[in-house]
């Protein structure tokens, strides 16, 4: 872990911290960074599902009907 001195908008940091449930400035920044990384990883996963047509079998009505049972 590194220690870095940066200028941060305090109002924005407070709002982000409240949304993320952070208790400290450090916690708010780390949670915000984690949220950005997690969001990108989810987006990549969804793009993979789309590109690979991995869920294409769900277009089949019989498959969907069996899945509901």
Task: Determine the pLDDT at residue 60.
Answer: 86
Does 19 fall in a domain? yes
Does 43 fall in a domain? yes
Task: Determine the pLDDT at residue 20.
Answer: 97
Residue 46: helix, strand or coil by DSSP? helix
Report pTM.
0.73
Task: Determine the pLDDT at residue 32.
Answer: 97
Domain coverage including residue 25: 10-68
Contact predicate 28/17, CB 8 Å:
yes
Contact predicate 37/45, CB 8 Å:
no
Does 22 fall in a domain? yes
Dump pLDDT digits (tens) for 8-51.
999 999 999 999 999 999 999 999 999 999 999 999 999 998 89
Q: Report the domain count for the chain.
A: 1
The HSE-up count of residue 26 (CA atoms within 13 Å, CB side) is 5
Does 2 fall in a domain? no
Does 56 fall in a domain? yes
């Amino acid at each position: 872990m590194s220690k870095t001195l940066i200028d941060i908008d305090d109002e924005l940091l407070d709002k982000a911290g409240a949304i993320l449930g952070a208790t400290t400035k450090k916690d708010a920044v780390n949670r915000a960074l984690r949220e950005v990384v997690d969001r990108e990883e989810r987006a990549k996963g969804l793009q993979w599902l789309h590109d690979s047509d991995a869920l294409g079998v769900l277009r089949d009505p019989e498959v969907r009907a069996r899945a509901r049972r």
